[in-house]
Amino acid sequence: MDTLSWARLGARVAGLDFASAAIEAARRLSEDSGVPGRFVEANVYDAPAALERERFDIVYTGIGALNWLPDIVAWARVVSDCLVDGGRLYLYEAHPMRGALDYDNPDQQLLLRFPYFSQPEPGTDMSTETYVDGPTFEPMPVHDWNHGLGEIVTAVIEAGMDLEFLREHREVPWQALPWMEFVGDGPRGADGRYQSGRMWRLPEAQRDLVPLMYSLMATRRRR
Protein backbone atom coordinates (compact mmCIF):
# COMPACT_ATOMS: atom_id res chain seq x y z
CA MET A 1 0.00 0.00 0.00
CA ASP A 2 2.89 2.36 0.75
CA THR A 3 4.41 1.58 -2.64
CA LEU A 4 1.13 2.04 -4.51
CA SER A 5 0.50 5.33 -2.67
CA TRP A 6 3.66 6.68 -4.31
CA ALA A 7 2.44 5.37 -7.67
CA ARG A 8 -0.90 7.14 -7.19
CA LEU A 9 1.09 10.37 -6.83
CA GLY A 10 2.75 9.70 -10.18
CA ALA A 11 5.93 7.78 -9.31
CA ARG A 12 7.16 4.75 -11.25
CA VAL A 13 7.59 2.33 -8.37
CA ALA A 14 9.30 -0.88 -7.29
CA GLY A 15 8.29 -2.40 -3.94
CA LEU A 16 10.51 -4.97 -2.26
CA ASP A 17 9.68 -7.40 0.55
CA PHE A 18 10.87 -10.91 1.43
CA ALA A 19 7.38 -12.18 2.39
CA SER A 20 5.82 -13.94 -0.59
CA ALA A 21 2.30 -13.38 0.84
CA ALA A 22 2.99 -9.62 1.01
CA ILE A 23 4.26 -9.56 -2.57
CA GLU A 24 1.27 -11.58 -3.82
CA ALA A 25 -1.16 -9.24 -2.00
CA ALA A 26 0.61 -6.17 -3.42
CA ARG A 27 0.43 -7.53 -6.98
CA ARG A 28 -3.27 -8.33 -6.51
CA LEU A 29 -3.97 -4.82 -5.15
CA SER A 30 -2.06 -3.24 -8.03
CA GLU A 31 -4.05 -5.26 -10.55
CA ASP A 32 -7.45 -4.68 -8.87
CA SER A 33 -6.88 -0.93 -8.44
CA GLY A 34 -5.26 -0.40 -11.84
CA VAL A 35 -2.31 1.40 -10.15
CA PRO A 36 0.86 0.04 -11.77
CA GLY A 37 3.78 -1.17 -9.66
CA ARG A 38 6.63 -3.65 -9.87
CA PHE A 39 6.93 -5.98 -6.87
CA VAL A 40 10.09 -7.90 -6.11
CA GLU A 41 10.44 -10.73 -3.57
CA ALA A 42 13.88 -10.52 -1.96
CA ASN A 43 15.74 -9.96 1.27
CA VAL A 44 16.44 -6.23 1.56
CA TYR A 45 20.17 -6.99 1.97
CA ASP A 46 20.06 -8.43 -1.60
CA ALA A 47 18.06 -5.50 -3.00
CA PRO A 48 20.65 -4.07 -5.47
CA ALA A 49 21.00 -7.45 -7.25
CA ALA A 50 17.26 -8.24 -7.01
CA LEU A 51 16.49 -4.85 -8.61
CA GLU A 52 19.07 -5.55 -11.35
CA ARG A 53 21.29 -2.66 -10.18
CA GLU A 54 18.66 -0.12 -11.19
CA ARG A 55 19.12 3.17 -9.30
CA PHE A 56 16.20 5.24 -8.05
CA ASP A 57 15.42 8.91 -7.32
CA ILE A 58 13.83 8.04 -3.97
CA VAL A 59 14.15 5.18 -1.53
CA TYR A 60 11.29 5.20 0.97
CA THR A 61 10.96 2.84 3.92
CA GLY A 62 9.65 2.77 7.45
CA ILE A 63 6.69 2.36 9.82
CA GLY A 64 8.13 -0.83 11.25
CA ALA A 65 10.89 -1.81 8.83
CA LEU A 66 14.28 -1.22 10.53
CA ASN A 67 13.32 -3.12 13.69
CA TRP A 68 13.35 -6.39 11.68
CA LEU A 69 16.95 -5.84 10.53
CA PRO A 70 19.98 -7.00 12.53
CA ASP A 71 22.61 -4.92 10.66
CA ILE A 72 21.90 -1.21 10.21
CA VAL A 73 25.28 -0.42 8.60
CA ALA A 74 24.64 -2.98 5.82
CA TRP A 75 21.09 -1.63 5.39
CA ALA A 76 22.40 1.95 4.87
CA ARG A 77 24.88 0.70 2.24
CA VAL A 78 22.03 -1.02 0.38
CA VAL A 79 20.00 2.21 0.36
CA SER A 80 23.02 4.14 -0.92
CA ASP A 81 23.61 1.56 -3.69
CA CYS A 82 19.98 1.87 -4.84
CA LEU A 83 20.06 5.69 -5.18
CA VAL A 84 21.16 7.80 -8.14
CA ASP A 85 23.59 10.62 -7.28
CA GLY A 86 21.42 13.35 -5.74
CA GLY A 87 18.67 10.78 -5.01
CA ARG A 88 16.95 10.83 -1.64
CA LEU A 89 16.33 8.48 1.22
CA TYR A 90 13.10 9.25 3.05
CA LEU A 91 12.62 7.30 6.25
CA TYR A 92 9.59 7.52 8.60
CA GLU A 93 10.20 5.12 11.42
CA ALA A 94 9.46 4.15 15.02
CA HIS A 95 11.81 6.02 17.37
CA PRO A 96 14.30 3.80 19.22
CA MET A 97 13.23 5.46 22.49
CA ARG A 98 9.79 3.98 21.86
CA GLY A 99 11.43 0.62 21.25
CA ALA A 100 13.13 0.85 24.65
CA LEU A 101 9.88 1.49 26.56
CA ASP A 102 7.94 -1.08 28.54
CA TYR A 103 4.81 -1.47 26.37
CA ASP A 104 2.61 -3.27 28.90
CA ASN A 105 3.31 -1.47 32.17
CA PRO A 106 -0.05 -1.64 34.03
CA ASP A 107 0.78 1.61 35.94
CA GLN A 108 0.79 3.56 32.65
CA GLN A 109 4.19 5.03 33.54
CA LEU A 110 6.98 5.40 30.99
CA LEU A 111 9.59 2.84 31.98
CA LEU A 112 12.74 1.90 30.07
CA ARG A 113 12.78 -1.89 29.76
CA PHE A 114 14.65 -2.81 26.55
CA PRO A 115 18.10 -1.80 25.17
CA TYR A 116 18.16 1.49 23.23
CA PHE A 117 21.39 0.64 21.39
CA SER A 118 21.88 -2.07 18.73
CA GLN A 119 22.53 -5.50 20.21
CA PRO A 120 24.07 -8.49 18.41
CA GLU A 121 21.22 -10.72 19.55
CA PRO A 122 17.56 -9.84 18.87
CA GLY A 123 14.99 -9.09 21.53
CA THR A 124 12.56 -12.02 21.65
CA ASP A 125 8.94 -11.96 22.72
CA MET A 126 6.17 -14.57 22.53
CA SER A 127 3.21 -13.34 20.53
CA THR A 128 -0.24 -14.57 19.48
CA GLU A 129 -0.84 -11.87 16.85
CA THR A 130 0.90 -9.89 14.12
CA TYR A 131 0.92 -6.10 13.78
CA VAL A 132 -2.03 -6.20 11.34
CA ASP A 133 -5.68 -7.10 11.91
CA GLY A 134 -6.32 -10.81 11.68
CA PRO A 135 -6.88 -13.98 13.69
CA THR A 136 -4.75 -14.84 16.71
CA PHE A 137 -2.54 -17.95 16.57
CA GLU A 138 -0.58 -20.29 18.85
CA PRO A 139 2.14 -18.32 20.72
CA MET A 140 5.30 -18.05 18.63
CA PRO A 141 8.58 -16.19 19.14
CA VAL A 142 9.01 -12.78 17.48
CA HIS A 143 12.55 -11.43 17.14
CA ASP A 144 13.45 -7.80 16.54
CA TRP A 145 16.30 -5.33 16.89
CA ASN A 146 16.30 -1.77 18.25
CA HIS A 147 18.88 0.66 16.76
CA GLY A 148 19.90 3.96 18.38
CA LEU A 149 19.22 7.16 16.48
CA GLY A 150 22.93 8.07 16.40
CA GLU A 151 23.74 4.61 15.00
CA ILE A 152 21.17 5.05 12.22
CA VAL A 153 22.19 8.61 11.30
CA THR A 154 25.91 7.75 11.33
CA ALA A 155 25.29 4.65 9.17
CA VAL A 156 23.42 6.82 6.65
CA ILE A 157 26.19 9.47 6.51
CA GLU A 158 29.01 6.91 6.33
CA ALA A 159 27.22 5.10 3.48
CA GLY A 160 27.51 8.27 1.34
CA MET A 161 24.42 10.34 2.09
CA ASP A 162 24.11 13.90 3.46
CA LEU A 163 21.49 14.50 6.12
CA GLU A 164 18.83 17.07 5.13
CA PHE A 165 16.65 16.84 8.23
CA LEU A 166 15.88 14.66 11.23
CA ARG A 167 12.54 15.34 12.91
CA GLU A 168 11.19 13.68 16.04
CA HIS A 169 7.44 13.25 16.44
CA ARG A 170 4.93 12.95 19.31
CA GLU A 171 2.39 11.04 17.19
CA VAL A 172 2.60 7.42 16.13
CA PRO A 173 0.49 5.69 13.43
CA TRP A 174 -0.56 2.79 15.67
CA GLN A 175 -1.47 2.42 19.35
CA ALA A 176 2.07 1.65 20.48
CA LEU A 177 1.20 1.77 24.21
CA PRO A 178 -2.25 0.75 25.50
CA TRP A 179 -2.87 4.09 27.25
CA MET A 180 -2.22 6.22 24.16
CA GLU A 181 -5.01 8.48 22.93
CA PHE A 182 -6.42 8.39 19.42
CA VAL A 183 -5.66 11.71 17.74
CA GLY A 184 -7.73 11.26 14.61
CA ASP A 185 -7.47 10.44 10.99
CA GLY A 186 -4.98 13.18 10.13
CA PRO A 187 -5.50 16.17 7.85
CA ARG A 188 -7.26 15.90 4.50
CA GLY A 189 -5.80 17.53 1.37
CA ALA A 190 -7.66 19.76 -1.09
CA ASP A 191 -8.83 16.63 -2.93
CA GLY A 192 -10.51 15.34 0.26
CA ARG A 193 -8.05 12.47 0.67
CA TYR A 194 -6.27 11.84 3.96
CA GLN A 195 -2.70 13.21 3.90
CA SER A 196 -1.65 10.94 6.70
CA GLY A 197 -3.14 7.92 8.35
CA ARG A 198 -4.59 7.40 11.82
CA MET A 199 -2.48 8.71 14.69
CA TRP A 200 -2.09 8.11 18.44
CA ARG A 201 -0.19 10.11 21.11
CA LEU A 202 0.59 10.00 24.83
CA PRO A 203 -1.70 11.75 27.36
CA GLU A 204 -0.80 15.43 27.83
CA ALA A 205 1.25 14.96 31.03
CA GLN A 206 3.60 12.54 29.20
CA ARG A 207 3.51 14.04 25.70
CA ASP A 208 6.76 16.02 25.84
CA LEU A 209 8.75 13.34 27.66
CA VAL A 210 9.71 11.10 24.78
CA PRO A 211 9.67 11.04 20.95
CA LEU A 212 7.69 8.18 19.37
CA MET A 213 8.54 8.41 15.66
CA TYR A 214 11.18 10.19 13.55
CA SER A 215 11.47 11.22 9.93
CA LEU A 216 14.77 11.59 8.17
CA MET A 217 15.75 12.75 4.73
CA ALA A 218 19.23 12.32 3.24
CA THR A 219 20.68 12.96 -0.22
CA ARG A 220 23.10 10.62 -2.03
CA ARG A 221 26.49 12.37 -2.50
CA ARG A 222 28.08 12.34 -5.96
CA ARG A 223 30.08 9.17 -6.54
Q: Which is nearer to ligand SAM, 125 or 162 (CB)?
A: 125
- Which of 4, 13, 14, 17 binds ligand SAM (CB under 6 A)? It is 17
Quote the CA–CA distance of 187 and 8 in Å, as a whole number.
18
Residue 65 found at the interface with ligand SAM (CB under 6 A): yes
User: What is the DSSP secondary-structure string of 113-127?
Assistant: -S-SS--SSPEEEEE
Q: Which is nearer to ligand SAM, 49 or 203 (CB)?
A: 49
Torsion sign across C-alpha atoms 176, 164, 2, 195: positive
- Which of 24, 33, 57, 68 binds ligand SAM (CB under 6 A)? It is 68
Residue 129 sits at the vertex; the CA angle it makes with 128 and 131, to the nearest 5 degrees, is: 150
Q: Which is nearer to ligand SAM, 22 or 183 (CB)?
A: 22
Residue 168 found at the interface with ligand SAM (CB under 6 A): no
Which run of H or E residues covers position 135?
none
Binding string, residues 102-131; x marks residues near ligand SAM by CB under 6 A? -----------------------------x
Contacts of 65 (CB under 8 A, 6+ apart): 93
How distant, in Å, are the alpha carbons of 32, 65, 149, 181 from that of 60? 23, 11, 18, 28
Q: How far is the CB of 20 from ligand SAM (least distance, A)?
A: 9
**Region at 88 (left for phi over 0; alpha for psi -120 to 50; beta for the rest):** beta
Q: Which is nearer to ligand SAM, 69 or 161 (CB)?
A: 69
Q: Which is nearer to ligand SAM, 45 or 179 (CB)?
A: 45
Contacts with ligand SAM by CB under 6 A lie at 1-2, 17-19, 22, 43-44, 62-65, 68-69, 131
